[in-house]
Amino acid sequence: MQRVLIVEDHPSHMELAAYILERGGYEVLQATSAEDGIALARSDRPALILMDLRLAGMDGLEAIRVLRSDPETRDIKIIAVTSYRDEYGEQPLRIAGADALIRKPYHYDHFLGTLKAVLGETATPDNVPR
């Protein structure tokens, strides 16, 4: 079972992402700040991080830069997550080191499909949640 870390400070977004991931067969770790997310990434080495870009304190872009600069975490896959349509484009995210972007609100198939693509998995009837 692959481990996914969600870094999200909005409780309902955290709950929905965790629900989708657990139904998809992933082990879920949760952090509500960039600093806690970085610490969990270092200690628990998840396969993937879902990083909200708008966080209090250190924002998600800076957290991605920190993770990418650390030899212990630089190879962890990272999907940036945001509800802001125009503020974050692909270019700044790629420069920071994100592997993909998911926009809120979450669309179940797109959410899980993006995650599986970044992890190099394929969706089959056995591993697609119902």
CB of 70 closer than 8 Å to CB of 63 = no
Residue 124: inside a domain, yes or no? no
**Selection from 75, 71, 78 nearest residue 37 by Cα:** 78
Instruction: Write out the residue range of the structural domain in which residue 38 sits.
Output: 3-119
In this prediction the pTM is: 0.87
CB environment 103-122: b (16+ within 10 A), e (fewer): ebebeeeebbbbbbebbeee
Residue 52's domain is classified under what CATH number? 3.40.50.2300
Q: What is the pLDDT of residues 69-112, one digit of tens each?
A: 999 999 999 999 988 655 555 556 666 788 988 888 888 888 99
Residue 29: inside a domain, yes or no? yes
Q: What is the pLDDT of residues 43-80, one digit of tens each?
A: 999 999 999 998 999 999 999 999 999 999 999 999 99
Alpha carbons within 13 A on the beta-carbon side of 84: 11
pLDDT higher at 92 or 36: 36
Which one-letter DSSP state was computed for residue 49? E
